[in-house]
Amino acid sequence: MSKPTAPHIEPYTGPAGGWGSAKSVSEITLRERLPFQGPRVLATQNKPEGFMCVSCAWAKPAKAHPLEFCENGAKATAWEITSKRASPAFFAKHPLGELEQWEDHDLEEQGRLTHPMRWDAASDKYVPVPWREAFDEIGRELRALDPRQVDFYTSGRASLETSYMYQLFARMYGSNNMPDSSNMCHESSSVALPESIGAAVGTAILSDFENTDCIFYIGQNVGTSSPRLLHDLQDAVDRGVKIVTFNLLRERGLERFINPQSPVQMVTGKETRISSQYYQVNNGGDIAALFGVCKALIEADDALKASGSTQVAGDDGLPRDPENAAMFAFAASIASADKKHVLDHDFIKEHTAGFEEFAQAARTHRWEDLERVSGLNREQMMEAAATYARSDAVLTIYGMGLTQHLMGVQNVHMVCNLALLRGNIGKPGANICAVRGHSNVQGQRTVGITEKPGLVPLDKLSELYGFVPPDWTGRSTVETCEAIISGESRGFISLGGNFLKAVPETGAMEEGWRKLRLTVQIATKLNRSHVLHGQIAYLLPCLGRIELDQQASGPQSVSIESSIAHFHGSRGKTRPASPELLSEPAIVAGIAKATLGDTKVPWDAWVGNYAEVRDAIERTYPETFKDFNKRLFKPGGFARPLPARERKWVTRSGKANFITPEKLFPELSTAQSIDVLHLATLRSNDQFNTTIYGYSDRFRGVNGTRKIVFLNPVDIERLGFTDGDSVDIVTAIDEATERRVTGMKIVAYQIPKGCCGSYFPETNPLFPTAHHDPKSKTPSYKLLPVRLRQSSPAA
């Protein structure tokens, strides 16, 4: 087992990328014992005929760089093609009671799973089982359960083909309980964007980066979570594009970058400055901050309008409203060429609804309140507004800093409101880019992974496959958690992921999990959701996307959808980790056949040739997937139709809607007390979600440990602690149940006062399941009221 080195915390002075990145890649290729194979495989990553990276969902350009990968993509690849194996010999040595004590890193670090395994109660071990037997027993068990008692989870990596087959199987079985990782991630976008602009996903595409004048970059950590996007930002900055960032922290990737694939930059050490304006907002302060920007724009526009009636000429000959000289001067400095307006009134009139109500709300909010809640001052908000107004085309990019909030949906509405003020949707260079997480999380929803039957063409499925799909609303992730805790859920099937670590309330969840009748895990690597298990438990190992997938008709390709709504084929070439592995489509089909018996679905033919699954997807969604097989390997991918890009608003009003957030900040059911801090949970640069590659968060200067809490030095002193103290974090809402994580080291950090930060998934025991956005049900992972307590010496 690899152990973390001694904790070592020291500010990192280097840029994102650069030699630090190159070193980190070579370390992991050596550690996973891949010195020769690694580089060869990486060369085909994100290339038109190669495999699509298994890390994030960022766009794959038509003209790929010779090395179209990043530090974290390289780590994800090395982690998947590792030469290490968690074989039956490993499981024979370690009972699950023992493995429960292991760290996440150590479980996955055992390497790839090699054989289908069944939990043996007598020895408390996973023992090998033939595939046939596994499918038969799972089928028997599922038939004995009420479909409403079974949950079918999907983590965002599985391909479009697998996902389509999986949702079809769940529906034919009779369940819409399809929680997915998206429920914890961009669900706030999936709810808010259709309401605001009638788009199910972000509207930006790669060419917008070439046409934009300004990028508003909100709550997304590009240097760690989607480093290839840094190349697009770098190109934009080189063209003179302004980047205006709103983030809780000063993230290095948003400050400066050296492209590790640019020999000139690497040798000369010349950095690109990324953000031109950087605003550190309070946790959950974005509605207030964006309201401030909108207020400045709207009041400037008002001032110009008012000057029409009460104008006096200034020294420059321009009209003046003497009542409001300062605002007028600001307005004049940012106005259109004719000095008549700041907002795009033609666009607002023709394309939007709800403007007056929104504008009135912006005028009514007082600057003092906007300043207090956002943590920014009025000048900063006006400065951001000025940059916004001086740009013809503004692109807005955002991530989890906006979506994982009690007001996540309203955060996204606010992004749209700002965009609509100047027609910044549906013209080149101006759109909304929701940076997605898992490499196919967006695509899974496109082919039917959802608990909401209204989002799926049920009539089509019924017509094609001759069954009556369930029409009730199924459980999303937090509802599945509640059903597992209450004992209502009896069976849990998992297509990838690590549900038990990723969800809220992990303490109560672990207890409920053990009481499940059936747990089935389709996975590549061992994690905590496998070592804890139900009464009947299977661990079914599958091929990864990088591996050669050989079926009856020959080697197979799969497909995914990127963050910019382009579909791409992906072909794996490396030798499978074990000859026993089955592909995900083959496992889904195996379970489906054993559960459902004879159906109209040609499961075997589909497994033999995935092109036939793609034909079925095209029959189900003819517009989106027109000529799917023909276009599979189109360089740059093929685009999904996005009406909002064409300014066609598929909303109830037929217009793009200004939707006014009810409040600036959520009401928290916590006693207002000065020792309460607002916790945001963060990813380190050395993890992919619950997969912990190692113990170094290079950009934030944290090494050798993940058990830390970032705190403002003023708060450290105010609360009577010292930098380096060991503390427990205790949840400060719903305190009838104590939720606590112990032994966290205080790290003095540049984080706004009253806020604190700590890593996911270590902090997940702190989150009550009910602490989520009421509409999207996305857990509020970026805002939880907590207190710190001195750790007892035993901790």
Interface positions with ligand MGD (CB under 6 A): 55-56, 72, 108, 155-157, 181, 184-185, 218-221, 224-226, 246-249, 251, 281, 283-284, 286, 399-401, 404, 435, 437-438, 495-499, 502, 522-525, 527, 542, 544-545, 584, 680-683, 687-691, 760-761, 763-764, 781-782
Closest CB to ligand MGD among residues 351, 707: 707
HSE value, Cβ hemisphere, 13 Å, CA-based, for 476: 24
- Does the protein bind Mo ion through residue 526 (CB under 5 A)? no
Handedness of CA 389, 395, 399, 402 (dihedral sign): positive
Closest CB to ligand MGD among residues 252, 655: 252
- Does the protein bind Mo ion through residue 437 (CB under 5 A)? yes
Q: Is the peptide bond before 779 cis (omega within 30 degrees of 0)?
A: no
- Does the protein bind Mo ion through residue 185 (CB under 5 A)? yes
Which is nearest to 261 in space by CA: 215, 227, 211?
Answer: 227
Binding-site partner at residue 237 among ligand MGD, Mo ion, none, CB < 5 to 8 Å by type: none
Stretch that binds Mo ion, among 178-186, 425-433, 595-603, 661-669 (CB under 5 A): 178-186
Closest CB to ligand MGD among residues 542, 668: 542
CB of 761 to ligand MGD, least distance (A): 6
Binding-site partner at residue 574 among Mo ion, ligand MGD, none, CB < 5 to 8 Å by type: none
Element (H, E) at 256: strand 256-258
Handedness of CA 4, 42, 443, 425 (dihedral sign): positive
Distance CA 63, CA 742 (A): 49
The stretches of 598-699 forming alpha helices (DSSP H) are 603-608, 610-620, 628-631
Distance CA 62, CA 82 (A): 29
- Does the protein bind Mo ion through residue 779 (CB under 5 A)? no
**Bridge-partner residues for 206, per DSSP?**
none
Closest CB to ligand MGD among residues 223, 470: 223
CB of 312 to ligand MGD, least distance (A): 41
Element (H, E) at 99: helix 96-99
Element (H, E) at 478: helix 477-486
Closest CB to ligand MGD among residues 46, 155: 155
Q: Is 744 helix (H, G, I), strand (E, B) or coil?
A: strand
CB of 351 to Mo ion, least distance (A): 31
Binding-site partner at residue 109 among ligand MGD, Mo ion, none, CB < 5 to 8 Å by type: none
Binding-site partner at residue 692 among ligand MGD, Mo ion, none, CB < 5 to 8 Å by type: none
CB of 144 to ligand MGD, least distance (A): 25
Closest CB to ligand MGD among residues 167, 220: 220
CB of 483 to ligand MGD, least distance (A): 17
Nearest-CB residue to Mo ion?
437
540, 116 in Cβ contact below 8 A? yes
Q: What are phi and psi of 491, to 5 degrees?
A: -135, 140
CB of 180 to ligand MGD, least distance (A): 8
Closest CB to ligand MGD among residues 324, 477: 477
The rounded Cα 334 to chain-centroid distance in angstroms is 35
Closest CB to ligand MGD among residues 55, 489: 55
Structure tokens at 14: 């280097």
HSE value, Cβ hemisphere, 13 Å, CA-based, for 436: 34
Size of the residue set binding Mo ion (CB under 5 A): 2
Closest CB to ligand MGD among residues 320, 707: 707
The stretches of 320-470 forming alpha helices (DSSP H) are 325-334, 345-351, 355-364, 367-374, 378-389, 400-403, 408-421, 441-446, 458-465
Binding-site partner at residue 496 among ligand MGD, Mo ion, none, CB < 5 to 8 Å by type: ligand MGD
CB of 639 to Mo ion, least distance (A): 23
Residue with tokens 């992004």: 415
Closest CB to ligand MGD among residues 248, 331: 248
Q: How far is CA 61 from CA 88, 362, 637, 682, 795, in A?
A: 41, 39, 8, 28, 50
391, 214 in Cβ contact below 8 A? yes
Distance CA 29, CA 35 (A): 6
Closest CB to ligand MGD among residues 213, 251: 251
Distance CA 164, CA 603 (A): 12
- Scan residues 659-678 and list those touching Mo ion (CB under 5 A): none
CB of 436 to Mo ion, least distance (A): 7
Which is nearest to 179 in space by CA: 437, 428, 476?
Answer: 476
- Does the protein bind Mo ion through residue 443 (CB under 5 A)? no
Stretch that binds Mo ion, among 324-332, 431-439, 580-588, 782-790 (CB under 5 A): 431-439
The residue ranges that bind Mo ion (CB under 5 A) are 185, 437
